[in-house]
Chains A and B, each alone.
Chain A
Amino acid sequence: MDQNSRDRTNDFVVKIATVNGTGSASANGMLMQAMFRMGVPVSGKNVFPSNIQGLPTWYEIRVNKHGHLARSPNVDLMVAMNPKTYEQDIAEVRPGDAVLFDSSWPLEEELFRADVLFLGIPLSHMCVENFEGARARILMKNIAYVGAVAALLSIDLEVLEEMLEEKFSAKQHLMDSNNVAIRLGYDYAKEHFDGLLRVRIEAMDANRDSVLMTGNMAAALGCVYAGATVGAWYPITPATSLMDAFRGFCADLRKDPETGKNLYCIIQAEDELAAIGMVLGAGWMGARAFTPTSGAGLSLMNEFLGLAYYAEIPAVIFDVQRAGPSTGMPTRTQQGDFFTVAFASHGDTKHVLLFPGDPTECFYFAVKAFDLAERFQTPVFVVSDLDIGMNDWVCEKLEWDDAFVPDRGKVLSAEDLQEMDHFYRYLDVDGDGIPARSLPGVDPKGAYFTRGSGHDRFGRYTEDGDLYQDVVDRIARKIEGAAEALPPPEVRLANDATVGLVTVGSCRGAVLEAIELLAEDGMALDFLRITGFPFSSAVEEFLLSHDLNIVVEQNRDGQLKRLLMLETAVPKKKLASVLDYRGSPLGADVVVQGVRNQLGLVAVEAG
């Protein structure tokens, strides 16, 4: 369908180009939040550089009444506030769409395009006239373009003013200047450009049961609710905000009411080797402990992850993925760590993984991860990415069942130990591959020696091949047993589809949207979203029951596809890939194109 002919109310993309470190992030967030409060499905994606100040940064807001909130490249309004990127920003706009720019200085002649609407507002001039001081002028210019965009899109000014009121209620002078700035932009745009845009927003009621949150916030809150007491970490984007959030929640929610002391301990380690070591020490001691990290940190943790696997120590690791290899593009999203986490460390290992698809799942999977880690006495990875972790998503409100009892697994009490003839740490007494564990300090009978060196089922050092193998085979059985205990995959079936789209994590929205778009062209596709590893039988069944499974993921090497090849009975010829690993959140356009290519179809020009 031609974009011009369709109703574009509540169906558009605004892209804002600014300079890093100028305070634009909070202004952009305000815009997105205002749209959220108007009850309209919306998403905001921050595209930012690995830099504190000075480099270009973008924020993409997509509004979609049908709830399709994956990234879309079809920009309707470009808010071009960074002269250094004018050229590329203006080139990105489609014919008939609009560019909002600061007309305090004239736009160079060659940047103009005849097929694009140029909306110039002298934002800097207005701010110089109205505010004192360089910093205030820069900050208020951001608020002024928020006002202008609000006018252009018919965002309810009252909603914005109410947000300012909440934010600055304690700081009258800030509230005053923000209100002035909003009005500057708003009034100018109303006066000069009213009704010029093809797109507009109209209040809906789609967000009644939703909240705005990032995956890292949600995961941190999951740690609080799961009863985690020890967190160790080393700062790394995009995982840092997870520990920041945990610290913030704990400061409010984890103070001993009588003494005011902390019911938690957060340690900023000297590196990730130490961070994971601390988590293992705490887990061995019986605390629920976790570490948030990203690819580079995981690489460092490898030796310890093997120890945790082999010595059977619970631990929860949040891997908020970013673009690798090496330092890669540290502020860009990717799903390139699947191999690293699935088989982390030397020797035979295999780890339990959870793949949340949005912040809501980050919360629930975080809680689940601690249960699984203790039940299976092994490290459990919650594998998200920068898009889920750091961007604000409109999410289903979180629920908590106050009857929840954490699953501590087979932890022996002093009484349990006293009743036993002998306690042997690595003896599987009930056939599920999971031995019982004792905690230090509880009872002399529980004492054993934890080691990463060869040990037999009785926990004794050994270099005897058979005794060694007995233990590693049991651990393999134990981990296989975890597959069915993980959250079930998400499956959506069309009628009589023979092709399945398989995906994971943050790709969910783009893939579901692509399925709808392709269905409009008469192509029926089933949907499978993997949520855990080792893969459950439901995953294998899905793959086997389709002629072709196209695995959509964000890495170069088709890591998820290869894992499916290795770990399920699906024949190689039933698997294909659609890959996008350029560092941006996935868009449906890429999936549609990729699927068409895979199926040998030529794109049909919409009429």
Chain B
Amino acid sequence: MTQTAKPSVRHPGLKTNKLGLTQRDYEGTQSTLCAGCGHDSITAAIVQAFFELNIAPHRVAKLSGIGCSSKTPTYFLSEAHGFNSLHGRMPSIATGANAANGKLAYIGVSGDGDSLSIGLGQFCHAMRRNVNMLYMLENNGVYGLTKGQFSASADVGTKAKRGEENQMPPIDPASMALTLGASFVARSFSGDRKQLVPLIKAGLTHRGFALVDIISPCVTFNDHEGSTKSYAHTREHGHEVVETDFVPLLHEIQVEQDHGASTAVTMHDGSVVRFRSVDEHYDPTDRDAAYAHLKKLQAQGEVATGLLFIEPMSRDLHELENTVDEPLVEVPFEKLCPGSGVLAELQSHWR
């Protein structure tokens, strides 16, 4: 099967963003996923978020591992360089790429198998290093591409299509991220674009590692009765703890007026993320409280969603490593090579 290009029809009436691009300019090739797959809805949200943030597509690097979810970077931003890497190894590629050029926007797409089993180590360590990237974990509780085996995010008691019940406790990426010191932790649902788009925008603007764990039902292998990652189950048990609104830098003042009552967090670049707690007193800047609340809801069989935690002024990989402001790939060779004089000087001590 060779992938099909979408016909590029431009409707004169389509809305354009500040770069003069339409939302279609943020799309990619035609999806080859199953009709109704949660991952496709996430792709649509990604397209919308990048469009609305006025990010030039070619200034984005989009990366993924292996899985149905990891196929999706072909379905958005066709003018961005893409890297469909190895199963579970996208974080290392993203880390190296980011080290070399910290001035691009990075989006990594992964699955629950990709991130929580084979790639658990890399996933955790990219978080520890606070690599400046948006990390989309498209979580369906199964391995879609290898036809429906349980993944490590499958809940105890959830049923596979053929009936067997999962007995092992799940790895919850959001609570794990909180304990690992992640600087941005969000959870959402592929079926809730209204919640997801602002989270993606906030994640892209956050300087550091932004995890968005998205329940993304697999219609083919995990959307049946008895599955805790089905559309129906997620709709019923999803529990928004905070409403999140992302306010880009330029609109700050205008929005101030709209929402007087909610709390606001200012990001590195001056953009504002505005919260309205749905659960009383929920404070998304208090890591321990966020963790406790998450666990409490989990015990009740509910899935906390929204921007669960943010540390907007965290130090990313480049700050931790004290690298120069310009991308390393743009430093001219003359600045990197010390030359013959230095070589002679150095060697005068090697005697």
Determine the chain B residues whose CB is within 8 A of the CB of A405 once the complex forms.
Answer: 333
How far does the Cβ of A390 sit from chain B's closest Cβ, in whole Å?
15
Contact A262 B323 (CB under 8 A): yes
CA distance A111 to B96 in the complex (A): 58
**Whose C-beta in chain A lies nearest to the C-beta of B128?**
A270
Known contacts A278-B99, A400-B340; A460/B86 CB under 8 A: no
Determine the chain A residues whose CB is within 8 A of the CB of B56 once the complex forms.
Answer: 444
Interface string of B31-71 (1 = CB under 8 A from A): 00000000000000000000000001111010000000000
A36 proximal to B (CB < 8 A): yes
Contact A448 B85 (CB under 8 A): no
**Whose C-beta in chain A lies nearest to the C-beta of B84?**
A451
Within 8 A of A (CB), among B99-137: 99-101, 103-104, 121-122, 124-125, 129
Contact A211 B350 (CB under 8 A): yes
Interface string of A200-233 (1 = CB under 8 A from B): 0000000100011100000001001111111010
**Whose C-beta in chain A lies nearest to the C-beta of B101?**
A285
A529 proximal to B (CB < 8 A): no
B9 proximal to A (CB < 8 A): no
How far does the Cβ of B96 sit from chain A's closest Cβ, in whole Å?
3
**Whose C-beta in chain A lies nearest to the C-beta of B98?**
A281
Known contacts A263-B331, A441-B103; A229/B93 CB under 8 A: no
Determine the chain A residues whose CB is within 8 A of the CB of B85 once the complex forms.
Answer: 277, 307, 452
Contact B351 A212 (CB under 8 A): yes
Contact A229 B95 (CB under 8 A): no
Within 8 A of B (CB), among A371-427: 397-402, 404-406
Determine the chain A residues whose CB is within 8 A of the CB of B258 once the complex forms.
Answer: none
CA distance A254 to B325 in the complex (A): 14
**Whose C-beta in chain B lies nearest to the C-beta of A395?**
B350
How far does the Cβ of A23 sit from chain B's closest Cβ, in whole Å?
22
B225 proximal to A (CB < 8 A): no
A282 proximal to B (CB < 8 A): yes
**Which of the residues B96, B317, B346 comes within 8 Å of A289, measured between beta carbons?**
B96
Interface string of A223-249 (1 = CB under 8 A from B): 011111110100000000000000000
**Which of the residues B59, B84, B99, B101 comes within 8 Å of A267, measured between beta carbons?**
B99
Known contacts A253-B342, A267-B129; A281/B81 CB under 8 A: no
Known contacts A230-B99, A274-B122, A460-B2; A254/B92 CB under 8 A: no
**Whose C-beta in chain B lies nearest to the C-beta of A266?**
B321
Interface string of A277-302 (1 = CB under 8 A from B): 11111111111010000000000000
**Whose C-beta in chain A lies nearest to the C-beta of B99?**
A265
**Which of the residues A212, A276, A281 comes within 8 Å of B350, measured between beta carbons?**
A212
**Which of the residues A289, A303, A404, A443 comes within 8 Å of B100, measured between beta carbons?**
A289
Within 8 A of A (CB), among B331-351: 331, 333, 335-340, 342-343, 346-347, 350-351
Known contacts A36-B351, A277-B92, A285-B100; A229/B336 CB under 8 A: yes
How far does the Cβ of A194 sit from chain B's closest Cβ, in whole Å?
29
B159 proximal to A (CB < 8 A): no
A51 proximal to B (CB < 8 A): no
* Stretch from A316-324, A327-335, A461-469, A557-565 forming part of the interface with B: A461-469
Determine the chain B residues whose CB is within 8 A of the CB of A483 once the complex forms.
Answer: none
**Whose C-beta in chain A lies nearest to the C-beta of B103?**
A441
**Whose C-beta in chain A lies nearest to the C-beta of B1?**
A463
A447 proximal to B (CB < 8 A): yes
Within 8 A of B (CB), among A15-45: 33, 36-37
Contact B2 A261 (CB under 8 A): no
Determine the chain A residues whose CB is within 8 A of the CB of B299 once the complex forms.
Answer: none
Number of A positions contacting B (CB below 8 A)? 80
How far does the Cβ of A487 sit from chain B's closest Cβ, in whole Å?
20
Contact B97 A398 (CB under 8 A): no
Determine the chain B residues whose CB is within 8 A of the CB of A279 once the complex forms.
Answer: 96
A104 proximal to B (CB < 8 A): no
Contact A461 B58 (CB under 8 A): no
Determine the chain B residues whose CB is within 8 A of the CB of A435 once the complex forms.
Answer: none
**Which of the residues A289, A304, A438, A448 comes within 8 Å of B82, measured between beta carbons?**
A448
Contact B340 A399 (CB under 8 A): yes
How far does the Cβ of B341 sit from chain A's closest Cβ, in whole Å?
8
Known contacts A225-B337, A440-B101; A284/B323 CB under 8 A: no
B205 proximal to A (CB < 8 A): no
CA distance A36 to B124 in the complex (A): 49
CA distance A398 to B94 in the complex (A): 36
A256 proximal to B (CB < 8 A): yes
Determine the chain A residues whose CB is within 8 A of the CB of B94 once the complex forms.
Answer: 281
**Whose C-beta in chain B lies nearest to the C-beta of A367?**
B337
How far does the Cβ of A347 sit from chain B's closest Cβ, in whole Å?
13
Contact A442 B336 (CB under 8 A): no
Contact A230 B100 (CB under 8 A): yes
Determine the chain A residues whose CB is within 8 A of the CB of B350 once the complex forms.
Answer: 211-213
**Which of the residues B122, B325, B351 comes within 8 Å of A277, measured between beta carbons?**
B122
Determine the chain B residues whose CB is within 8 A of the CB of A399 once the complex forms.
Answer: 340, 343
How far does the Cβ of B61 sit from chain A's closest Cβ, in whole Å?
5
CA distance A75 to B193 in the complex (A): 78
Contact A404 B331 (CB under 8 A): no
Contact B59 A441 (CB under 8 A): yes
CA distance A440 to B85 in the complex (A): 15
A432 proximal to B (CB < 8 A): no
Considering residues B122, B124, B318, which has the most beta carbons from chain A within 10 angstroms of its beta carbon? B122
B289 proximal to A (CB < 8 A): no
Contact A254 B336 (CB under 8 A): yes
Known contacts A229-B328, A441-B104; A282/B96 CB under 8 A: yes
Known contacts A253-B338, A402-B339; A304/B89 CB under 8 A: yes
Determine the chain A residues whose CB is within 8 A of the CB of B328 once the complex forms.
Answer: 229-230, 263-265, 287
**Whose C-beta in chain A lies nearest to the C-beta of B80?**
A447
Determine the chain B residues whose CB is within 8 A of the CB of A256 once the complex forms.
Answer: 324, 335
CA distance A190 to B336 in the complex (A): 52
Contact A406 B86 (CB under 8 A): no
Contact A227 B337 (CB under 8 A): yes
Determine the chain B residues whose CB is within 8 A of the CB of A33 once the complex forms.
Answer: 351
**Whose C-beta in chain A lies nearest to the C-beta of B3?**
A461
A348 proximal to B (CB < 8 A): no
Contact A263 B95 (CB under 8 A): no
Contact A460 B3 (CB under 8 A): yes
Contact A461 B74 (CB under 8 A): yes
Determine the chain B residues whose CB is within 8 A of the CB of A266 once the complex forms.
Answer: 321
A92 proximal to B (CB < 8 A): no
Considering residues B81, B104, B351, which has the most beta carbons from chain A within 10 angstroms of its beta carbon? B81
A450 proximal to B (CB < 8 A): yes
Considering residues B86, B97, B346, which has the most beta carbons from chain A within 10 angstroms of its beta carbon? B97
**Whose C-beta in chain A lies nearest to the C-beta of B92?**
A277
B329 proximal to A (CB < 8 A): yes
Known contacts A307-B86, A464-B2; A267/B338 CB under 8 A: no
B83 proximal to A (CB < 8 A): yes
Contact B92 A274 (CB under 8 A): yes
A446 proximal to B (CB < 8 A): yes
Interface string of B258-289 (1 = CB under 8 A from A): 00000000000000000000000000000000
A326 proximal to B (CB < 8 A): no
A172 proximal to B (CB < 8 A): no
Contact A262 B322 (CB under 8 A): yes
**Whose C-beta in chain A lies nearest to the C-beta of B129?**
A267
Determine the chain B residues whose CB is within 8 A of the CB of A3 once the complex forms.
Answer: none
B79 proximal to A (CB < 8 A): yes
What are 17 pairs between A and B in contact, CB < 8 Å?
Answer: A37-B351, A229-B336, A261-B322, A269-B92, A273-B92, A274-B122, A278-B99, A281-B93, A286-B100, A287-B101, A304-B86, A398-B343, A399-B343, A444-B58, A447-B82, A448-B82, A463-B1
Q: Which 5 A-B pairs have the closest CB atoms?
A: A277-B92, A281-B96, A278-B96, A287-B100, A440-B81
Q: With A267-B96, A446-B58 given, can you name 12 additional A-B contacts, CB distance below 8 Å?
A: A36-B351, A253-B338, A267-B129, A271-B121, A282-B96, A284-B83, A285-B97, A289-B96, A307-B85, A400-B340, A442-B58, A461-B74
**Which B residues lie at the A interface, using CB under 8 A?**
1-3, 56-59, 61, 73-74, 78-86, 89, 91-101, 103-104, 121-122, 124-125, 129, 317-318, 321-325, 328-329, 331, 333, 335-340, 342-343, 346-347, 350-351
